[in-house]
Amino acid sequence: MRLVEKKVPCGEGAGSRKGIYKLTDNFFRFWFRYEFTNNAYYEMLGADAASKEIMEGISDYMGGCF
């Protein structure tokens, strides 16, 4: 499925310890950015308030997708 990829800086080998891992699937990136970390908070708010709060910061998230 290749959901995670390793990004290595230019000039470094594939086995470099300076690499970072990044989620490649946008659905999983959204899930771990918003829902996974704030699940209890969003359940407490309710669906309407939670979606409103997510939509306030969605432009920051979408910038990395495109």
* 36 lies in some domain: yes
Span 17-58, pLDDT tens digits:
999 999 999 999 999 999 998 999 999 999 999 999 999 988
Distance of CA 34 to the CA centre of its chain: 8
Which residue is associated with the tokens 């432009």? Answer: 59
- Higher pLDDT, residue 64 or 57: 57
Say what the pLDDT of residue 61 is.
82
Q: How many domains does the chain have?
A: 1
Please tell me the distance from the alpha carbon of residue 31 to that of residue 28, in angstroms, as a whole number.
Answer: 5
> Domain containing 45: what range?
25-66
* 51 lies in some domain: yes
